[in-house]
């Protein structure tokens, strides 16, 4: 392995046997052996991963639940051993992947500090030297002689964190540390990350928090279904991850489709090839609607942001006069609106068709189209206020 490489994963895969009925008794093991029946399913958690992480990199691993990212982290931490392939580590690795592992609720805070320190490889003496710093950093001085089970979860996390950051390792593996703790704790985490970065430590972090990934990582990887989909800049990975999430929402929502009498055969976005828009552009949607019986067709849309935030729903009732459309006839509707009304992000459009003023739609299909706003105007929230700032001099 080259000298500047911290972690090298070559063709690593991991299989899990998922028993249908976990045979934790010898009887069932014997019976199953006798019957020669497979009572487990093989789950390929990781399929031939190749990855090289250089020294000093802040590397993010991103993926949806069950994609295999935590399995990969456990392989790196040598908690699991790979079924095929190999993992080479160059440098001292932290043994932790989560905060507060090994905490014992029946021991006092003080005793837990020593126990946890030992897990990090610090002797009693070394822990004594840094004990006060740890307690001060966690801000729980007067609780140290109480049992850990009487601590609030916030206190436990603070204590765990202030021990964990003492680790003298070259390579740190961090799993979802940002998922716990309040805003103040996250700030502490962030400044710790900054310090790690400054000290050129190699860090591998698993997180769902794309902001953190984009902010700290120098490189990132996207994992889905046990495959390494993409390795590249954190921005690209974050974008892909969001896209993946959005498309999965589409799939899962498909069951809600309503289809009684009319149909949007095509809902297309005009004016842009890749459905990407800058703030100055106009977004135009075109509906192709066919009916099975004569009704007064009135289309509508719902717009949802990729994180699930509902933005707006509207119909054409106010602007288009109702008119009966005969069966089998194709009608085209368009709607257009300026892109600057949206915050940067990806949005999906549900197609809806009403029969004139009947509040129940005759047709509904989620996520028929989607568009992306690529710029932002330094605003945040749900929509971009169409406004005008002036200074009166």
Partner 1 sequence: MQKRYRYAMILLKQLVITDFKLRYQGSVLGYAWSLLRPLLLFVILYLVFVKGLKIGGSIPNFPIYLLLGIVMWNFFSEMTSQSLSSIVSRGDLIRKIRIPRWIIVLSSSISALINLGLNLLVVLVFMLITHVDFMKTGIFFPIILLEIYIFALGVSLFLAAAFVKYRDVEYIWEVITQAFFYLTPIIYPLSVITDQTLQKILLLNPMAQAMQDARSILVTKETITMAEVYGTANARLISLAIVVTFFLVGLVYFKRKAKYFAENI
State in angstroms the smallest separation of the CB of 359 from partner 1.
53
User: How far apart are alpha carbons 208 and 193 in whole angstroms?
Assistant: 16
Considering only 33, 37, 86, 121, the residue that binds partner 1 (CB under 8 A) is 121
Q: What is the largest CA-CA distance in the chain?
A: 91
The counts of H helices and E strands in the chain are 8, 18
Tell me whether residue 98 or residue 276 sits nearer to partner 1 (CB atom). 98
Which one of 90-98, 300-308, 333-341, 362-370 is the stretch in contact with partner 1 (CB under 8 A)?
90-98
Does residue number 185 form part of the binding site for partner 1 (CB under 8 A)?
A: no
Q: What is the enclosing helix (H) or strand (E) of 337?
A: strand 330-338
Does residue number 170 form part of the binding site for partner 1 (CB under 8 A)?
A: no
Tell me whether residue 115 or residue 312 sits nearer to partner 1 (CB atom). 115
State in angstroms the smallest separation of the CB of 98 from partner 1.
5
Restricting to residues 263-292, name those near partner 1 by CB under 8 A.
none
Considering only 93, 228, 352, 368, the residue that binds partner 1 (CB under 8 A) is 93
Give the CA angle between residues 282, 289, 246 to the nearest 5°: 55
Which one of 32-40, 105-113, 245-253, 350-358 is the stretch in contact with partner 1 (CB under 8 A)?
105-113
- Asked if 40 and 19 touch (Cβ cutoff 8 Å), the reply is yes
Does residue number 145 form part of the binding site for partner 1 (CB under 8 A)?
A: no
State in angstroms the smallest separation of the CB of 146 from partner 1.
14
Which one of 113-121, 261-269, 299-307, 327-335 is the stretch in contact with partner 1 (CB under 8 A)?
113-121
Does residue number 199 form part of the binding site for partner 1 (CB under 8 A)?
A: no
Considering only 10, 52, 119, 185, the residue that binds partner 1 (CB under 8 A) is 119
Does residue number 86 form part of the binding site for partner 1 (CB under 8 A)?
A: no
Q: Residue 20 phi/psi, 5° resolution?
A: -70, -45
Which pair of structure tokens corresponds to residue 302?
């719902």
Restricting to residues 2-31, name those near partner 1 by CB under 8 A.
16, 24-27, 29
Considering only 41, 78, 136, 256, the residue that binds partner 1 (CB under 8 A) is 78
Which pair of structure tokens corresponds to residue 389?
């700032």
Pick from 200, 241, 89, 104: which is nearest to 160 by CA?
Answer: 104
Tell me whether residue 115 or residue 249 sits nearer to partner 1 (CB atom). 115
CA atoms within 13 A on the CB side of 135: 19
Dihedral sign from CA coordinates of 84, 93, 173, 5: negative
State in angstroms the smallest separation of the CB of 281 from partner 1.
50
Does residue number 118 form part of the binding site for partner 1 (CB under 8 A)?
A: yes
Checking DSSP bridges between strand 258-259 and strand 262-270, what pairing results, if any? Answer: unpaired
Q: What is the enclosing helix (H) or strand (E) of 15?
A: strand 5-19
State in angstroms the smallest separation of the CB of 36 from partner 1.
19
Tell me whether residue 145 or residue 386 sits nearer to partner 1 (CB atom). 145
Tell me whether residue 177 or residue 298 sits nearer to partner 1 (CB atom). 177
Whole-angstrom CA distances from 85 to 18, 49, 54, 81, 149 are 21, 8, 19, 10, 42
Does residue number 97 form part of the binding site for partner 1 (CB under 8 A)?
A: yes
- Asked if 204 and 75 touch (Cβ cutoff 8 Å), the reply is no
Q: Residue 139 phi/psi, 5° resolution?
A: 60, 45
In this structure, the number of other CB atoms found within 10 A of the CB of residue 366 comes to 20
Give the CA angle between residues 60, 15, 119 to the nearest 5°: 55
State in angstroms the smallest separation of the CB of 139 from partner 1.
25
Which one of 115-123, 149-157, 231-239, 298-306 is the stretch in contact with partner 1 (CB under 8 A)?
115-123
Beta strands in 120-208, from DSSP E residues, in sequence order:
171-175, 202-206
Residues that bind partner 1 (CB under 8 A): 16, 24-27, 29, 74, 77-81, 93, 95-98, 101-102, 104, 106-107, 111, 114-115, 117-119, 121-124
């Amino acid at each position: 392995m080259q000298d500047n490489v911290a972690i090298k994963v070559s063709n690593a895969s991991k299989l899990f046997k998922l028993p249908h009925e976990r045979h934790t008794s010898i009887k069932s093991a014997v019976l199953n052996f006798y019957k020669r029946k497979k009572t487990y399913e093989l789950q390929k958690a990781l399929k031939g991963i190749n990855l090289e992480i250089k020294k000093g990199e802040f590397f993010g691993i991103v993926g949806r639940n069950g994609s295999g990212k935590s399995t990969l982290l456990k392989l790196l931490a040598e908690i699991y051993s790979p079924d095929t392939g190999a993992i080479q580590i160059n440098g001292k690795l932290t043994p932790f992947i989560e905060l507060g592992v090994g905490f014992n609720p029946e021991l006092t805070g003080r005793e837990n500090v020593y126990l946890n320190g030992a897990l990090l490889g610090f002797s009693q003496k070394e822990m004594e030297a840094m004990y006060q710093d740890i307690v001060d950093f966690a801000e729980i001085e007067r609780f140290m002689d109480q049992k850990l089970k009487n601590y609030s979860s916030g206190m436990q996390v603070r204590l765990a964190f202030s021990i964990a950051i003492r680790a003298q390792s070259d390579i740190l593996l961090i799993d979802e540390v940002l998922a716990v703790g309040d805003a103040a704790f996250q700030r502490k985490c962030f400044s710790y990350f900054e310090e790690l970065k400054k000290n050129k430590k190699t860090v591998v972090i698993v997180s769902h928090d794309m902001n953190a990934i984009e902010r700290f990582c120098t490189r990132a990887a996207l994992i889905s279904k046990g495959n390494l989909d993409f390795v590249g800049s954190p921005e690209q990975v974050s974008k892909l991850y969001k896209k993946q999430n959005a498309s999965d929402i589409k799939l899962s929502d498909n069951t809600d489709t309503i289809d009684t009498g009319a149909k949007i055969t095509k809902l297309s976005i005009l004016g842009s090839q890749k459905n990407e828009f800058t703030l100055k552009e106009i977004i135009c949607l075109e509906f192709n609607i066919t009916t099975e019986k004569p009704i007064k067709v009135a289309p509508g849309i719902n717009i949802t942001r990729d994180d699930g935030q509902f933005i707006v729903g509207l119909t054409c009732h106010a602007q288009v006069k109702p008119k009966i459309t005969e069966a089998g006839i194709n009608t085209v509707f368009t709607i257009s609106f300026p892109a600057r009304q949206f915050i940067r992000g990806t949005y999906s459009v549900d197609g809806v068709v009403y029969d004139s003023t009947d509040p129940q739609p005759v047709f509904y299909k989620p996520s028929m189209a989607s568009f992306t706003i690529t710029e932002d105007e330094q605003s945040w929230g749900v929509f971009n206020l169409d406004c005008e700032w002036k200074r009166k001099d």
